[in-house]
Amino acid sequence: MSYETVKWERDGGVGRIVLDRPETLNAWNTQFGEDLRAAVADAAADDAVRAVLLTGNGRAFSSGADIKAGFDESADDGLPDIRGRLHGLFHPSLVGVRTMEKPVVVAVNGPAAGIGASLALAGDLVLAAESAFFQLAFVNIGLMPDGGSTLFVPARIGKARAFEMALLGERVPSDRALEWGLVNAVHPDAELAAAAEDLVARLAAGPTRAYAAAKRALNASIYPNLAPQLDLEADLQHQLARTKDFVEGGVAFIEKRQPRFQGA
């Protein structure tokens, strides 16, 4: 089954979710968020699916939120309803991937930025193409990392590198991502898809109840505070969306220039 912006299919015991807005580098707008949420729910609910592959179509995995699409207005003050968008549109997919009782392999075929990086790192095993990079680009538009990345990133690479990614907002190329432990493996671009298919097929043929139990136990050990962390991120991001720096960051992004932040 294909949704408007996401492809979903099952082949034997393997479920495949393909992000499919290649003209926007798979940026998240409302339709994309709704389609992805439905595809993740389908994968979790289908008893015939034993393992899931998540990847992107085109040149990118996901470039993050579609800033040019704008935001819904908050009923409280008419400003961007970041809290509502995170809870209603983004978090269900991220939590669905993280809590799905079957292994999720993510094949990062290109840039994974902003909440696109959060989605990639929500997976269980993450493979990357040599040309791929990861970027917590939020700070570049006056925001903070969200989508669970303030939990997923330090859990993978530790405090020093998590702060580096969050505060500097720089690209982390695939070779450095592997060195840091952000990903499990890096493959030449032309070989990534085959490597990901081999891995997900191996998992689909494995002891699925053991995988589910291991994932549940590891989630309890590593991510016991996922829900409150998502709430905290949403509250802080909502506040930042009311700053002059966010307005400047968004305008500078659209105008393709360096922002002039004031700390206000």
10: left (phi over 0), alpha (psi -120 to 50) or beta: beta
Q: How many CB atoms neighbour CB 127 within 10 A?
A: 27
- When pLDDT is cut at 50, 70 and 90, the band that residue 94 belongs to is very high
Of the candidates 187, 16, 25, the residue with the CA atom closest to the CA atom of residue 111? 25
In the chain, the percentage of residues whose pLDDT exceeds 70 is 100
Determine the Cα–Cα distance for residues 182 and 107; give it in Å rounded to an integer: 13
- Mean pLDDT of the 2-21 span: 96
Residue 99 contacts residue 117 (beta carbons within 8 Å): no
User: CATH number of the domain at 6-190, please?
Assistant: 3.90.226.10
- When pLDDT is cut at 50, 70 and 90, the band that residue 246 belongs to is very high
pLDDT higher than 80, residue 235: yes
Instruction: Give residue 253's pLDDT.
Output: 87
- Mean pLDDT of the 190-215 span: 98
Average pLDDT over the chain, rounded to an integer: 96
User: Between the CA of residue 82 and those of 94, 169, 231, 264, what are the distances in Å?
Assistant: 16, 20, 12, 18
DSSP code at position 72: P
Residue 36 contacts residue 104 (beta carbons within 8 Å): no
pLDDT higher than 90, residue 75: no
Q: What is the pLDDT of residues 114-164, one digit of tens each?
A: 999 999 999 999 999 999 999 999 999 999 999 999 999 999 999 999 999
Domain chopping of the chain, boundaries: 6-190
